[in-house]
Amino acid sequence: MGTAVNIIVGSHVWVEDPELAWTDGQVTKINGQEVEIQGSNGKKMVAKLSKIYPKDTEAPAGGVDDMTKLSYLHEPGVLENLKTRYELNEIYTYTGNILIAINPFQRLPHIYDSHMMQQYKGAPFGELSPHVFAVADVAYRAMINEGKSNSILVSGESGAGKTETTKMLMRYLAFLGGRAATEGRTVEQQVLESNPVLEAFGNAKTVRNNNSSRFGKFVEIQFDKQGRISGAAIRTYLLERSRVCQVSDPERNYHCFYLLCAAPQEEIEKYKLGNPKSFHYLNQSRCYELVGVSDAHDYLATRRAMDIVGISAKEQEAIFRVVAAILHLGNVVFAKGKEVDSSIPKDDQAKFHLKMVAELLMCDAAALEDALCKRVMITPEEVIKRSLDPQSAAISRDGLAKTIYSRLFDWLVDKINVSIGQDANSKSLIGVLDIYGFESFKHNSFEQFCINFTNEKLQQHFNQHVFKMEQEEYTKEEIDWSYIEFVDNQDVLDLIEKKPGGIVALLDEACMFPKSTHETFANKLYQTFKAHKRFIKPKLSRTDFTIAHYAGEVLYQSDQFLDKNKDYVVPEHQDLLDASKCTFVAGLFPPLREETAKSTKFSSIGSRFKLQLQSLMETLNSTEPHYIRCVKPNNLLKPAVFENVNIMQQLRCGGVLEAIRISCAGYPTRKPFFEFTNRFGLLAPEVLDANVDEKVACKKILEKKGLQGFQIGKTKVFLRAGQMAELDARRTEVLSGAAKTIQRRVRTHYARKRFIALREATIVMQSICRGRLSCKRFDGMKREAAAKKIQKHIRRYRARTNYKKLHLSGLVLQTGLRAMAARNQFRFRKQAKAATILQAVWRCHKAASYFKRLKRGSVVAQCRMRAKIARKELRKLKMEARETGALKEAKDKLTKQVEELTWRLQLEKRLRTDLEEAKAQEITKLQNSLQEMQNKVEEANAKIVKEREEAAKKAIEEATPVVQETQVVAEDTKKIDSLTAEVESLKASLDSEKQRADDCERKYNEAQTSGEERRKKLEETEKKVSQLQENMTRLEEKLTNLESENQVLRQQAVSMAPNKFLSGRSRSIIQRAAESGIPTDAKAAMDLHSASINHRESELEDKPQKSLNEKQQENQELLIRCIAQHLGFAGNRPIAACIIYKCLLQWRSFEVERTSIFDRIIQTIGNAIETQDNNDILAYWLSNASTLLLLLQRTLKASGAAGMAPQRRRSSSATLFGRMTQSFRGSPQGVNLSLINGGSSGGVDTLRQVEAKYPALLFKQQLTAYVEKIYGMIRDNLKKEISPLLGLCIQAPRTSRASLVKGARSVANTEAQRALIAHWQGIVKSLGNFLNTLKANHVPPFLVRKVFTQIFSFINVQLFNSLLLRRECCSFSNGEYVKAGLAELEHWCYKATDEYAGSAWDELKHIRQAIGFLVIHQKPKKTLDEISHDLCPVLSIQQLYRISTMYWDDKYGTHSVSSDVSFYGCHYSTRLYPI
């Protein structure tokens, strides 16, 4: 501290500043105890002499690495030294052996690499620059050399970099004593890998730090005798439980809640989570996200860290279930119940969250509600269940949430310790303490009280350590230090923890009484500590209190001290969660031991924390401590910003200034002899000239200046506080006198130099003035010339502007004329182009027509040529079948030929039946046509006779007297001529009708002739079949002879071929023998032979073949599991079908004699389509099955006997899907299979042909059957869906019929019609949904067209039959109603396009023509020919007659068809032909 002796005018000093903490300046005037100072920033200040400190003007520009080397060890000197080093990115500074680390808020990788570690390894402390590695190296060397455990205490406020410093310490300790990489994951790696887990569940965003640790952590790193890390343990202190339920803005809750809300979508849906804003425990603050931090990415990183530290997937799932349950628990809100002081969940939302909590914790929901809303009180007489009011229930809810989270965090710490492993035999350890620093906020609660209590304990330990260091320094230099006083804070610790009168003891006492409140607790404190100097009662509050800590006064609010101090679990909560079905949750709440349950001793957070802190202090006292004080340079968390006031506060809270005070109590200034004589030798030059020893010289200098109390050590001079400033003041006086002499000489030199320069400047000035006058004259001449030039350019500009206007006008006229000519030319070219397009289209049409005819002829020719080639191939195969080749192939060929002949016989019988039915229908149709023609001829003859008779009668009646006979004869002749002409026309029509009858008779004869020819062919076919049957019997006899010969060959094959092949071969032989009808004796013999083969298989099975089969079995299992899932589509292609095909082709399954993969695939498809009501699944498998069938059709080709496999099913060509598989030989439209060949352009054409065996061909038949089955199921489902609507669509409701009869055109009638058409719209909606389902599953368009064709045919049949059988449906208004519905169907077909609808609309031709007949006007004027040929060509005469007789016009009251039409229709109405 400065005094009046050593502060003189001109001294450089430090003075306090409210903004910068300390600012420097120079003393300009001293008035008693007041000093006037000129600041370096130009500001003048006045301060007291006792409040200023001297400044070391000769301090190094880069500061000193150890602040004990400062000439002036005081607050401004320490602050300036730290600032100077921080600006140079020197973030580490020593204060003795205490390391001060300032957070740079930027990456400095060059000071933490392996090269830097190697430099600090084994280096003496203080030899290199200050570094965290140096502290770790000192601790490690002390442990190795002295065999004593060490500890490193890292402290600082939130955001100061404690966690990063701890990581660097463990990295360096791992570098010194870590295991080799070959030994697996080392202990230090596991400790570092556990950090993300602890940070996720123990860190949160605060006002000062985005990733603040809300718990203390002490990492014990254990070493073996060789100095290698052998184990570790993590101990945690005081997790801030209240943050789970209470968050202040703009802070956040623990990270794990936000990470879970940002989890993948399936996790969010699983736990019924959403945005953090929807949860009460998270939306108390408006901060939900951190800048530059992705919660989704951190969630995945946390899950990976859990995997690394050994937390299983099941345990992770349980952990996040508990976290999700806590979030839902916060949303359970209570309201008043029916009873007094009772509570129930407020609404359905609260009940939903309560149910979710019960599901996630796997406990009973009703029991959970009772545990939250009720309490059980046990008395000696009875058990009383008491209800809680809504506020108490909410407190119970929050207490349960805090307890669950605290237990979960403790479980994680224990799990990490178990995963890391501890070395029970270790005798040495290095503990790294990462603990929160001193905290003083606007609102300080129980957590800040415990944190500051911890820092008071650590500060006492720190003070004792600093005092010890001072003692060691003085002992080393052999000086007298007995009068140094030690500053202790034991009174604050007694205030807090002393029993029975400390604050913690009084808090526990208050918590044990149920009726105690925070007000009674505060009053108790006021009464107990009213005379304590460290305890202060605020004037404006009745519940707050202030404690004077070593770092300053802190005001605490006791509102929640009692609630936060309680550490017991509510018995109802304990019993509920102990009975959870989830073993993890039940493990968090183990049943209490009997002695614990019976004990009435109160447990509190404060007491437990005090015990933990006592254990920590015992650990620290048993170790050699090393201190690292982390400092946060600014609250903006930005680099290169140094806030003086903030840092001074942190230095006070960190105890650094307290250490300086301890140093100042002794000898704060310590200078080596050389530095002291070098700096202050000028005060006694005669001493330096005497060439005495440096120690003696230093003593003489101090004695000459009359200083008292200094000490001379072995290597240093120890000065008391203020003595260094006094020496500097004397030194300044000597230097000032020398400076004045130098200044006098220099000023003389400067005056002469200034005179000479002034004379030379005068001469130069004169020359400059003369030059300036000349320049002005030259400027005038230059301006005159410039004016003339400007006039010239202006005139030129005006002339050019006029010219441009004239030129522009000419261009506009030319442009208009040229545009008119261009438009005329464009119009002519447009007309010419249109004519050219018309010509091109017409020529294209002609060319296309010719090409189609040519293509049709080419196809016919190709078909005939291919049939001829096929017949040749058949004859060739028959010739090869007669040859005596390999016995096995001959037998298979004969067997398949017999079965093929049987199949052909059945086909011929079916064809004959179809031919007879077609012939009968054709004969009936021709007979009906002939009968119609005969009736028409008879009617025409009768009409002619009748007209002749009427004409004769009319002529007789109109006859006149004889006098006028000539005139009458003339008139009669005209009438007779007209009648004759009419008769001739009738004859001509009769002849035409006869000619038509002859044509019909000729067609009938031709049909009979063709029928006779077909009958003859059928008889010939039957003869061939009988011959083939005889051949089959002969072949069976040959088979029985060959079977005995095969026995010997099979026995030889068993001993030569691999048993797996023989086993499959023998089974296939037995199966084919059973199918081919081999006699029972032969089957028995084959069964015996198969048994012998199986016996030999067990003897000859070898391991390589076994492993190969096992691998193949695993591949098959993988394929089955893969296709059982919904794999979707890639590029409109079903992935499952492509995978099956590629796998079968890769495994060569088509070419083997026996395999089970085909049966398993069929079984998988069958299991998948068991649910017949799910059209999505059916459409998905229809797409896959049809695509796979196409691939098989294009890939497989029959080889040898396999090509003649028996077709036991009905002929594929006679069914829908038989024709479909035949059409697969082409390239069906809409089937894209480029995926099979890796996206090549070849598609299906590039598939290679494979010689298929019998299992492959059988698989193709089974697949065809399943395609047909799935197709039928899909079609029937749609029929079931629209059938109820069809019954409502054929007849309009009566209300609508009445409105239609009235013919109203009002808006209400329009709305009624829209409502009536709803049934048709329902059908259209069903069709649209069905089409979308098929499109989504990429079903081939030709199958979609076939489905809708059959569905529309079904609609046509249902509607038309209902129309024929129900008279109320054959009305005019009902026809309009059905016509409107058919228009909806037509519109749907138009939107569906021909690609998917196809010819479906044409299937409705019966109902369309029938409805068209109902709604046409002027029906009596229509003839039978117009109705049957033009209006309704599809309907038969019987159907038209039926409709006309049932028709009734309920709208206009008109009649049906004419009587003649009804008469002719009556002859044909003997039988009604519904569809």
Catalytic residue among 25, 63, 77, 159: 159
Contacts 24+ apart (CB under 8 A), 1099-1108: 1100/1059, 1101/1059, 1101/1060, 1105/1058, 1105/1060
Contact between residue 163 and residue 213 where contact means Cβ atoms under 8 Å apart: yes
Q: Are the C-beta atoms of residues 600 and 277 closer than 8 Å to each other?
A: no
For this structure, is 482 an active site residue? no
Q: Could you give the CA distance from residue 1108 to residue 1042 in angstroms, rounded to a whole number?
A: 35
Q: Map residue 179 onto helix, strand or coil.
A: coil
Per DSSP, the residues of 815-883 read: HHHHHHHHHHHHHHHHHHHHHHHHHHHHHHHHHHHHHHHHHHHHHHHHHHHHHHHHHHHHHHHHHHHHS
Q: In whole angstroms, give the CA distance from residue 447 to residue 306.
A: 28
Query: How far apart are alpha carbons 903 and 1209 in whole angstroms?
Result: 9
Asked if the peptide bond before residue 76 counts as cis, ω within 30 degrees of 0, the response is no
- DSSP-based three-state secondary structure for 548: strand
158 labelled catalytic? yes
* DSSP state for residue 514 in the 8-state scheme: T
Question: Do the beta carbons of residue 654 and residue 59 sit within 8 Å?
Answer: no
Phi and psi angles of residue 112, each rounded to the nearest 5 degrees, phi first: -130, 10
> Residue 399 catalytic?
no
The catalytic residue among 163, 194, 406, 428 is 163
Place of tokens 């906020």: 441
- Locus of tokens 């021909």: 1394
Selected catalytic residue, list 439, 447, 473, 932: 439
Active site residue 884: no
User: What DSSP character marks residue 1434?
Assistant: S
What whole-number distance in Å separates Cα of residue 561 and Cα of residue 449? Answer: 9
- Cα-Cα end-to-end distance for the chain: 120
Out of 84, 151, 155, 209, pick the active-site residue.
209
Q: In degrees rounded to 5, what are phi and psi of residue 384?
A: -110, 130
List CB contacts of 16: < 8 A, sequence separation 6 or more.
22, 47, 51
Measured distance CA(637)–CA(936) in Å, rounded:
109
58 is catalytic: no
1149 as an active site residue: the answer is: no
Marked catalytic residue, from 84, 93, 103, 158: 158
Token pair in block for residue 633: 């340079």
- Determine which one of 6, 165, 203, 212 is catalytic: 212
1386 is catalytic: no
CB contact at 8 A, 697 and 687 = yes
Query: What is the rounded CA–CA span in Å between residue 344 and residue 355?
Result: 13
Strand ranges in 492-617 using DSSP code E only, listed in sequence order: 535-536, 544-549, 552-557
Identify the CA nearest to 1202 among candidates 892, 1439, 771, 875.
892
**DSSP assignment of 182-244:** GG-S-HHHHHHHTHHHHHHHHEE--SS-TTEE-SEEEEEEEE-TTS-EEEEEEEEE---GGGG
CA separation for the pair 284, 402 (Å, rounded): 16
Pairing outcome for strands 98-102 and 624-631: parallel
347-363 burial code (b ≥16 CB/10 A, e <16): eeebeebbbbbbbbbbb
Task: Tell me the sheet residues that pair with 711.
Answer: 718
Three-state SS for 1187-1231 is: HHHHHHHHHEEECHHHHHCCCCCCCHHHCHHHHHHHHCCCCCCCC
Residue 754 CA to residue 751 CA, distance in Å, equals 5
Name the strand (E) or helix (H) holding 1198: strand 1196-1198
Residues 1395/1341, Cβ–Cβ less than 8 Å: yes
Confirm whether 1212 is a catalytic residue: no
Residue 993 to residue 934: CA distance in whole angstroms: 8
Candidate list 161, 330, 437, 1375, residue with the active-site label: 437
Radius of gyration of the chain (CA): 55
Question: Amino acid letter at 156?
Answer: G
The residue from 213, 342, 1299, 1356 that is catalytic is 213
Positions marked active-site: 158-159, 163, 209, 212-213, 437, 439
